Amino acid sequence: MGKRVFLFLATNMAILLVVGTILYFLNVAGIVPVGGAARLGALMFICLIWGMGGAFFSLAISRWVAKWSMGVELIQKGHPDRKLGAVYDMVERCCAQARIPMPEVGYYDSDEVNAFATGPSKKRSLVAVSTGLLDTMRKNEVEGVIAHEVAHIANGDMVTMTLLQGVINAFVLFFARLIAWAVRQALDSNLAWLVSFVVYIIMTILLSILGSMITSWFSRKREFGADAGGAEYAGREKMIAALRRLQVTQELVDTQSSPAFNSMKISGKSRFMSLFSTHPPLEKRIARLEGRMR
């Protein structure tokens, strides 16, 4: 689930900055005041509405953004290319096992060995694989990867992540505005509003980054659930084989091209602190499937 998350977070942050700017100037105009218990309660409610709205808007356009940013080409049933036609058939079989509607199926041109799933609902989702994955993995391993991605859709991971992100957005907007208001009150200058606005933007970005630690933690937890679902839909041995292959090819996974997508991929490794990693270590995921770890 890696690229999905990075793309979702990047889109969400962009929307949050726009929303935050609107809220800031509404406050300057006195429409959304800050200060006092009653006003703080009202501000928190407004931030929750706008924060949830921003998160769900990011979710609504996630499939389109994924196709546009990754250059995904859709695959239809009976595709003349043997590998691509097999991908469609695998997705179809796994969706029948999971009892969910058939998503869009696609591929993107990349040397990375990976795949992702995204979309606002089970009825409007997308599963895509990289050309690097098709060129590197055996058929049974590809099926394990696809089953993992279908499990993300069946488990509703993007929707639950969006709900979590909406709450995080609300706190980001609220505390960024509160800190900016405090800075403005402390300054005695004609430029106080400008300084507080700059502080507001900086705090929105910093708090969003901190909030992504929570989103990343949730993503790591959901990976185990998607692995279990993949084992159910394709078979435990295929799921383990896919993860073992990823251990060998992990250096080919491009986690920098679209950090927001890393949480929706089958694999992802963080070059930053482990708190920002969207995936647990592959050895732990394999151990969980083999029953060596609870």
Is 149 a known active-site residue? yes
Tell me: the pLDDT tens digits for 158-183? Answer: 889 889 988 998 898 889 888 988 88
- In sequence order, the β-bridge partners of residue 108 are 130
**Collapsed DSSP state (helix, strand, coil) of residue 121:** coil
The tokens for 273 are 């602190």
State both tokens at 11: 């889109």
**All residues at 6 or more sequence positions from 115 whose CB lies less than 8 Å from its CB, including other chains:** 127, 128, 129, 130, 133, 145, 146, 148, 149, 265, 266
Give the model confidence (pLDDT) of 232-252 as tens digits: 999 999 999 999 999 888 655
Predicted pLDDT of residue 3: 56
Helix (H, G, I), strand (E, B) or coil at 202: helix
Catalytic hit among 141, 143, 149, 223: 149
Could you give the 3-state DSSP secondary structure of residue 117?
Answer: strand
Task: Express each pLDDT in 116-161 by its tens digit.
Answer: 999 999 999 999 999 999 999 999 999 999 999 999 999 999 889 8
pTM of the model: 0.80
HSE of 71, CA atoms in CB hemisphere, 13 A:
6
Contacts of 250 (CB under 8 A, 6+ apart): 113, 267, 269, 282
d(CA 245, CA 16): 38
Handedness of CA 228, 230, 232, 238 (dihedral sign): negative
- Is pLDDT of 260 > 70? no
Look at residue 154 and give its three-state secondary structure: helix
